[in-house]
A and B are shown apart, each in its own frame.
Chain A
Amino acid sequence: MKSRLREFRQMRGLSQAELAEKLKVSRQTVNAIETEKYDPSLPLAFKIARLFRMKIEEIFDDQ
């Protein structure tokens, strides 16, 4: 799944560790989502979208 998480995180000036802290996941998980090695669950995707005040499909794309 395509992920624009890194782009939006950097736009907000957050480090991976800071984002991980806000999402209550490990930094490794944030990194794996950004590098598209791991697709987040729906609850985690919602959490990310809510944090960035965006829609899930603006951050993740399965096409």
Chain B
Amino acid sequence: MTDECLKHESRKYQVRILCLMLLYTATLFLSIRWLLHNPPAPWKYPIAALPVLPALFIPVAVAHFFRVMDEMQRRIQLEGLAFGFVATAILTLTYGFLGNAGLAQPNWVWVWPVMAAFWVIGLVIAHRRYR
């Protein structure tokens, strides 16, 4: 993929991710608001899980972007993902062990933002390596 194509595809990818994140935030806000202001109902679980629907399309957008990259960019992304995966595994495992000693356990919702943050750190490190 040439630089022009990459810029174009990167822009498309960023717009897609941004739209999906906005949709995710909106559904999350609506679902929390609904759960807070309504009595428990049988459909409370589907409502609580509603933000997962737009989030399901994020891997589709990521996979598409992976397919259109050239081989070195794919390597950089893979190294970033590997760093994010391993760092998150170590952090969550450590936190789990600390929980055995009585440390308060965070909500599972935080696992993904932590992984995304490590992914970005991994990408920065990988980009520097091949610059």
Contacts and interface: CB of A to CB of B under 8 A. Distances in A.
Given A25-B71, A26-B72, A37 B130 contact: yes
Nearest to A32: B130
Interface of A: 17, 20-21, 24-29, 32, 37-38, 40-41, 44
Interface of B: 1-3, 6, 70-73, 75, 129-131
A38 B70 contact: no
Nearest to A37: B130
Chain B binding site: helix, strand, loop or mixed by DSSP?
helix
Contacts of A29: 70-73
A34 B38 CA distance: 63
B78 to A, nearest CB: 13
15 contacts: A20-B2, A20-B3, A24-B1, A25-B2, A25-B70, A26-B3, A26-B6, A26-B70, A28-B130, A28-B131, A29-B71, A32-B72, A32-B130, A37-B131, A41-B71
B80 to A, nearest CB: 15
